[in-house]
Amino acid sequence: MKTIQFREAICEAMSEEMRRDESIFLMGEEVAEYNGAYKASKGMLDEFGAKRVIDTPIAELGFAGIAIGSTMTGNRPIVEYMTFNFSLVGIDQIINNAAKIRQMSGGQFNCPIVFRGPTASAGQLAATHSQAFENWFANTPGLKVVVPSNPYDAKGLLKSAIRDNDPVIFMESEQMYGDKGEVPEGEYTIPLGVAEIKREGTDVTIVSFGKIIKEAYIAADQLAKEGISCEIIDLRTVRPMDRDAILTSVKKTNRLIVLEEAWPFGNVATEITYLVQSEAFDYLDAPVIKINTADTPAPYSPVLLAEWLPDHKDVITAVKKVMYK
């Protein structure tokens, strides 16, 4: 094992796959000459050249369409968005083309493409740069949605995403690029659609994904001192969702909290809540609680942002509520 940063795990995954398969290329704003806005493609231009690591104009609709079209001629592109907030400029290409090519061509064409970049809030970046769109993309048939929370998962999942024959939305975090973690020296992949129990527990299940899961770990450590045992599930892949992992855990702990950095209406937590009440209702000893951001655009003020964003205190309060303590 070696210890590397999250951004290095992303770079290693892309580079290893590009060495393995010449049909893979990377394109996006500042991915080449500048080594990536977050240095997640550092050194790749030097190794693979300008035909496979391509700087684009600030035109997400255009380069998303170019990349999607290239899949129909045998390529496997990786598209980097500087932030998924900017993917909204190209969302027509993602929703109406990438997600539907296989069905609308009667299976004649696959669309093996990865759209990747940071999601959700990253400090004081204000309302239009602090949005989580995992549930938007997960709502679309034909798309897979991956949200890793650490370097090990990021590398293994990204390699699987690049090899997948369907379009994958791969969502990272600006606040995790510097995170360090252990990653194997050799080749490995992590299958899409498989959640992981990050912490075993017996009293309550906490389901989360992405950077916000760190707040669940802090809460679980504090609650353990009070004799409350939390089981933490990292979804890793939002779609396809590992329904069995969630249901198995809830049937053991009989309580569920879902922690998600997203607006509260119609999100991933809502889908999980419906899943559990429809397939494990008789196992529940308390109502499901979902923890989300406030139902407003993200504020710029650091004081208001702290109130808007869920944290470990919210998790502790929710756990004690379902434990009737």
Which residues form the catalytic set?
60, 129
Q: How far apart are CA 95 and CA 249, in angstroms?
A: 33
Distances (CA, A) of 53 to 25, 49, 79, 141: 6, 6, 10, 29
Three-state secondary structure readout of 151-200: HHHHHHHHHHHHHCCCCEEEEECCCCCCCEEEECCCCCCCCCCCCEEEEC
- CA 175-230-210 angle, 5° bins: 20
Q: How far apart are CA 17 and CA 2, in angstroms?
A: 19
Cα-to-chain-centroid distance, residue 296: 22
